């Protein structure tokens, strides 16, 4: 498949990386020669210096032969026009990153389809929603929802004094047989493990548990984690992500939110638009300001500025002062793997939203969604069972399922259940599948018609 990526920033680079890894023919277009050089040096892609809205540049990139256009430049208008031109020139699928809400609201005069955009992505909105979910679950390092919220995937770090340390997953299951959950993946150092019943939990493991929302508190308790509520929240950064997080949390009962913004004019604007948020003007690197405003008394600290180094440092300071939960906005590949190792509780990335959407398209129409998590090499697929698929030939325990694959849950039109060895899947069902990259084709063949 031939793919044109407009924009070679962090998001464009990540999209191009994933597509090239999938052995697609990728062309990256940008006016930033330095960013293009970075793509050319590190990725197996063709780069073209020029404006993604130029007909001659797109023609040079092979737009008439392209199957997919991904426009993720820094300017919304560039992405919209690039997709519009691609659609007019016959590109099958167009994806645009658009930060403005104008095209997404139901009462807008023009919607995405009017511009030839098949898929509209708003990474900042997705990142803000993820931060809010993490604040709502104090012990979670990661939190994803599936099946319209009926299932949740919770990541958690296992402490040295956890009662689960030294026990196998089978032993934990026998302790509370009525508690329905599945440990679907374990991140141990730089390794990702798709576990079986004999795998043993170790201290400092990061485990990913799939369960129903009402079971989460009990699962956390079994793993030695608390499910305390976070009431006092301080947010560093009044950008779009910070403002969205502040607005969402301030609307919840018993939440008290402070937001620090370095730009005075923008801080005044936020104070007017966020009436239930205490907006402060000041620099996030001003330790005295943070201390004076009660950082050490906060339950949670969220750093979402555009300066990732400041996000890391201020979150570490917050942990040093005893803040229960810290969340940092991080996108650089070098920072994300070490963030929790050095003491942060959670990290979010606005560029992951784009990658997930692209992966979903690549996996085919029977794949309902794709998710990836920081530090986890496995992919998470919500995949539909096709008629006569091999996975329908009996109970899961009797089928030849690759070791690097685990079926976490089964979703039907009536209910969502945690998968067990005796569970059976039928055509039309959906399954939440955790799979290592090298087993993805095997996973798809299990769920596809022969």
pLDDT computed for residue 410 by the predictor: 94
Mean pLDDT score, 254-281: 94
Residue 400: per-residue pLDDT:
82
Distances in Å between the Cα of 312 and the Cα atoms of 143, 236, 286, 331, 376 are 20, 11, 14, 12, 20
Please give the pLDDT value at position 333.
62
Residue 274 has pLDDT above 60, yes or no: yes
Model confidence pLDDT, tens digit, residues 326-338: 999 987 766 666 6
Distance CA 325, CA 188 (A): 21
**Which pLDDT value is given to residue 182?**
94
| Residue 280, pLDDT above cutoff 90 | yes
Predicted pLDDT at 440: 83
Where is pLDDT greater, at 390 or 10? 390
The superfamily CATH assigns to domain 127-222 is Regulator of K+ conductance, C-terminal domain (3.30.70.1450)
pLDDT tens digits along 28-58? 999 999 999 999 999 999 999 999 999 999 9
Buried b / exposed e across 87-114, counting CB within 10 Å, b at 16+? bebebebbbbbbbeeebeeeeeeeebee
pLDDT tens for residues 186-231? 988 878 899 988 999 999 898 999 999 999 999 999 999 887 889 9
Q: Residue 156 and residue 24: Cα distance in Å, rounded?
A: 35
Q: What pLDDT is recorded for position 428?
A: 92
The structure tokens listed for 43 are 């990725």
Q: Do domains 2-121 and 232-348 have the same CATH topology?
A: yes
Q: Rounded distance, CA 38 to CA 58, Å?
A: 20
Average pLDDT over residues 239-243: 93
pLDDT band for 284, please (50, 70, 90 cuts).
confident
Distance CA 118, CA 405 (A): 31
* Band of residue 120 on the pLDDT scale cut at 50, 70, 90: confident
Closest by CA position to 370, among listed 112, 98, 134, 119: 119
Render pLDDT for 338-356 as a digit per residue (tens, 0 to 9): 676 677 888 888 777 677 6
Residue 108's pLDDT is 59
Topology given in CATH for the domain delimited by 2-121: Rossmann fold (3.40.50)
Domain ranges (residues) in the chain: 2-121, 127-222, 232-348, 353-447
**pLDDT at residue 368 in the model:** 57
**pLDDT recorded at residue 356:** 67
Which range, of 163-172, 253-262, 279-288, 424-433, averages the lowest pLDDT? 279-288
User: Which tokens is 26 given?
Assistant: 């990728």
Measure the CA angle with vertex 57, ends 51 and 59; round to 5°. 145
Looking at residues 407-417, what average pLDDT do you find?
90
Which of the two residues, 1 and 235, has the higher pLDDT score?
A: 235
pLDDT of residue 126: 81
pLDDT of residue 34: 94
Q: What average pLDDT is seen over the chain?
A: 87
Whether this prediction's pTM lies above 0.95 is answered by no
- What is the percent of the chain with per-residue pLDDT over 90, rounded to a whole number? 53
Q: What is the pLDDT of residue 63?
A: 94
Higher pLDDT, 264 or 403: 264
Neighbours of 33 (CB within 10 A): 11
Read off the pLDDT of each residue in 76-99 and give the average, rounded to a whole number: 91
pLDDT at 102: 63
- The topology (CATH level 3) of 353-447 is Alpha-Beta Plaits (3.30.70)
**What's the pLDDT score for residue 444?**
85
- Between 55-59, 72-76, 123-127, 231-235, the lowest mean confidence (pLDDT) is in 123-127
Looking at domain 232-348, its CATH superfamily turns out to be NAD(P)-binding Rossmann-like Domain (3.40.50.720)
For 241, residues 6+ apart whose C-beta sits below 8 A from its C-beta are 124, 127, 128, 131, 304, 329, 350
Q: Is the pLDDT of residue 60 over 70?
A: yes
Counting residues of the chain whose pLDDT is more than 70, the rounded percentage is 91
């Amino acid at each position: 498949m031939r793919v044109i990526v407009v924009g070679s920033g962090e998001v464009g680079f990540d999209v191009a990386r994933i597509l090239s890894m999938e052995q697609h023919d990728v062309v990256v277009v940008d006016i930033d020669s330095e960013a293009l050089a970075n793509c050319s040096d590190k990725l197996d892609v063709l780069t073209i210096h020029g404006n993604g809205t130029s007909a001659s540049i797109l023609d040079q990139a092979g737009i008439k032969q392209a199957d997919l256009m991904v426009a993720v430049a820094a300017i919304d208008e560039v992405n919209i026009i690039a997709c519009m031109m691609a659609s007019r020139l016959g590109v099958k699928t167009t994806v645009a990153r658009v930060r403005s809400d104008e095209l997404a609201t139901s009462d807008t005069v023009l919607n995405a389809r009017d511009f030839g955009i098949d898929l509209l992505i708003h990474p900042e909105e997705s990142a803000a929603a993820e931060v809010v979910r993490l604040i709502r679950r104090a012990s979670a390092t990661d939190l994803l929802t599936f099946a319209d919220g009926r299932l949740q995937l919770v990541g958690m770090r296992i402490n040295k004094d956890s009662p689960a340390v030294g026990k196998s997953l089978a032993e934990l299951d026998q302790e509370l047989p009525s508690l329905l959950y599945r440990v679907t993946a374990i991140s141990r150092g730089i390794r990702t493990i798709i576990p079986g019943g004999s795998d043993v939990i170790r201290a400092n493991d990061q485990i990913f548990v799939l369960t129903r929302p009402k079971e989460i508190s009990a699962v956390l308790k079994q793993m030695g984690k608390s499910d305390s509520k976070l009431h006092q929240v301080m947010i560093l950064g009044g950008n779009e992500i910070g403002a969205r997080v502040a607005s969402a949390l301030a609307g919840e009962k018993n939440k008290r939110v402070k937001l620090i913004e370095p730009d005075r004019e923008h801080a005044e604007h936020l104070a007017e638009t966020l009436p239930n948020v205490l907006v402060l003007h000041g620099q996030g690197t001003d330790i005295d300001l943070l201390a004076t405003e009660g950082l050490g008394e906060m339950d949670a600290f969220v750093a979402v500025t555009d300066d990732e180094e400041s996000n890391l440092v201020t979150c570490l300071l917050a942990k040093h002062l005893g803040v229960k939960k810290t969340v940092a906005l991080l996108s650089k590949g070098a920072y994300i793997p070490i963030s929790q190792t050095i003491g942060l509780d959670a990290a979010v990335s606005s560029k992951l939203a784009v990658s997930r959407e692209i992966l979903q398209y690549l996996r085919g129409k029977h794949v309902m969604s794709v998710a990836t998590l920081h530090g986890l090499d496995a992919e998470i697929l919500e995949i539909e069972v096709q008629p006569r698929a091999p996975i329908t030939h009996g109970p899961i325990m009797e089928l030849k399922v690759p070791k690097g694959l685990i079926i976490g849950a089964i979703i039907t039109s009536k209910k969502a259940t945690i998968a067990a060895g005796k569970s059976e899947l039928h055509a039309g069902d959906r399954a939440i599948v955790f799979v290592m990259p090298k087993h993805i084709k095997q996973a798809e063949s299990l769920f596809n018609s022969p």
